[in-house]
Chain A
Amino acid sequence: MAIAETQVYLPQAPRPRLRLLEDERWLAFVLLVPTLVLLGMFIAYPFVRGILLSVSSARVGVPGDFVGLANFYKIFNDGIFRTSAYNTFVYTGVTTVFKLALGLWLAMLLNRNFRGKAFTRAFILLPFIIPTVLSTFAWKWMFDPTFSVLNWLLYHLGLITSRINWLGDPDLAMISIIIVNIWRGVPFFAISLLAGLQTISPELNEAAAIDGAKPWQRFWHVTWPLLLPVTMVVVLFSVIQTFADFQIVYVMTGGGPANATHLFATYAYQIGIGTGILSEGAAIALAMFPILFLVVIIQLLYIRRVEVR
């Protein structure tokens, strides 16, 4: 008997340290500690620091004093800040509409069966994979005032007679930036929506076709409603990323000409890092927060609603 008992118990007599991990709560705690430490140190703490900075007069090397809401008061009366805010909304709105429309179109094209489909899909994602800064340089070179290949093309197609100074004119510069953002975002929309389309059973569309629905009606009454949950999540993700975008504007125009194409993030960089007024820079970056917060809340509510269903 005694021998049998040792045989059963000996191999699994755990060391005390591991016995603690048999408790679900302790194991969960141990598993979550590294994540919580990193996120606490580099997200939660900076967030608090950011709020404190924005109500101080800190500069690089100068801790500064508490000044209340003076920084916010100052930036809301700053013409460049207002332009940046306006630009950010236009940039986010216009690009999102185009990215959704083109992405959906591309997803529908990719959802057919054709030769080289996997290959095409892999290539289509390239703009999304390649580091944004590096591909944006290719665009900047294509929009170069003197050597622009786009001007060459338009000239030889007979559409223009003199050069277009793409990045020298405020409106054209904004349009150029919007084009680059659409270029970068369409693959993400297309591939995500394609995944959504593939979960829709073709039988539904066939049934509608038998009942006499035209292609457009089939899209509007069958495909679109079923795709809506994926579309919502993709759009909200993209809105957050676009609203807080930095790289494309930083490389293409640096906020110029004459501060006409700044977004929140690039203006915050210029003030906070460029001129070293940390407090005002932090205030400009935090000005994005209410909108981002709103989008996150919508997204959380939406995901919860979908899960409940």
Chain B
Amino acid sequence: MIEGAIWRKWVFFYVPMALFLLFLLFPFYWMVITSVRPDGELYRPWNSINYNPFWTWKPTLDHVRYLFEETLFASWLWNTTFIALASTAISLVCGVFAGYALSRLNFPFAGSLGTGIFITYLVPQTLLFIPLAEIIRNYRLGDTPWSLILTYPTFLIPFCTWLMMGYFKAVPKELEECARIDGASRWQAMLYIVIPVAIPGILSAGIFAFTLSWNEFIYALVFLSSPEQKTVPVGVTSELIRGDVFFWGPLMAGALLGSIPVAIAYSLFVEHYVAGLTGSVKG
């Protein structure tokens, strides 16, 4: 694509690309460097002399140790993992079933149901969190992981359904008909023929749902109150800040360690994640 002088390549490609990468990745570098930097270096005024904020010669693991010994960070990690996995599993089962029904079966109101599920996909969590908090309290689910495991599917199922509909539509009808002629019931044809073909879609929906539930904040903030029940984002926000005092070392270490599980999951399934992301907007 790029022809002509070498300087054109620098001006129109390398320099903008480098600036984009700097802008997008610098906060993560800052997170890493802060979490290994001793407190003495951390709290130096920005205009003090001989101060290089971008590097440290005395890396320390004190902040990480503080996180695991003085706070409930380990429980938060476990809670977040459990909640994310459970709500992803529920959403995948519901989404695959609903996606199959809406894309391959004929029944009354199929079209309007599909539209209805699409609309719930667009409902932001912040619209309903206050009445939902009341309902969670009435169901006696408050301050338990179930308050999140049952509510996260409300924004995960519509997404999974929407994505799976796209994958199921691409499976040829003949494949299913062959299985039915060979004596499979509708249920068997779905379970053993159509769903296995759509496994890439299930992986995409799963990894996407997992990152979304790991990311969720406002429901977790409102529904959970005791420190040992919290998820990583809420625990870091509420337990590492005392009044106006920010413990930046442990905070950044917590942000870093809290990001690693989801980053690992993402790196294992990058292609599926991107397929899910682009599938979700293309519909």
Contact = CB atoms under 8 A, between A and B. Distances in A.
A34 B101 contact: no
A193 B23 CA distance: 19
Interface string B196-238: 0000000000000001001101100010000000001110110
B185 A18 contact: yes
A34 B93 contact: yes
A150 to B, nearest CB: 9
A49 B134 contact: yes
B10 to A, nearest CB: 13
B81 interface: no
Residue among A50, A191, A230, A250 with the highest chain B CB neighbour number at 10 A: A50
A31 B98 contact: yes
Nearest to B216: A131
Contacts of A292: 122-124, 127
Contacts of B252: 137-138, 141
Interface stretch (B67-75, B109-117, B170-178): B109-117
Contacts of B246: 141
A1 interface: no
Contacts of B281: 192, 230, 233-234, 237
Interface residues of B, number: 100
A302 to B, nearest CB: 11
B186 interface: yes
B20 A149 contact: no
Nearest to A232: B281
A66 interface: no
A155 B47 contact: yes
Contact of A137 (B94, B125, B255): B255
B6 interface: no
Contacts of B34: 138, 141
B100 A31 contact: yes
Given A131-B214, A192-B278, A303-B283, A289 B16 contact: no
Chain B interface, DSSP helix/strand/loop, else mixed: helix
B17 A109 contact: yes
A259 interface: no
B240 to A, nearest CB: 9
B27 interface: yes
A194 to B, nearest CB: 8
Contacts of A234: 281
B277 interface: yes
B101 A112 contact: no
B61 interface: no
Interface in B115-166: 115, 117-120, 122-135, 150-151, 153-154, 157-158, 161
B45 to A, nearest CB: 6
A131 B126 contact: no
A147 B43 contact: yes
A18 B127 contact: no
Interface in A1-20: 11-12, 14, 18
B277 A138 contact: no
B273 interface: yes
A159 interface: no
A129 B24 CA distance: 12
Given A53-B134, A132-B217, A299-B122, A147 B42 contact: yes
Contact of A141 (B13, B30, B44, B98): B30
21 contacts: A18-B187, A25-B105, A27-B187, A28-B107, A31-B98, A38-B94, A39-B157, A42-B150, A47-B127, A50-B131, A106-B20, A129-B262, A131-B217, A138-B34, A141-B34, A183-B24, A195-B278, A234-B281, A288-B126, A300-B115, A303-B283
Interface of A: 11-12, 14, 18, 21-22, 24-25, 27-29, 31-32, 34-35, 38-39, 41-43, 45-47, 49-50, 53, 102, 105-106, 109, 112-114, 118, 120-127, 129-135, 137-139, 141-142, 144, 146-149, 151-152, 155, 163, 183, 186-188, 191-192, 195, 230, 233-234, 237, 240-241, 243-247, 250-251, 264-265, 268-269, 272-273, 278, 281-282, 285-286, 288-289, 292, 295-296, 299-300, 303
For the complex of A and B, 10 pairs with smallest distance between CB atoms: A244-B124, A265-B126, A195-B278, A134-B255, A49-B131, A50-B131, A31-B97, A133-B233, A31-B101, A28-B107
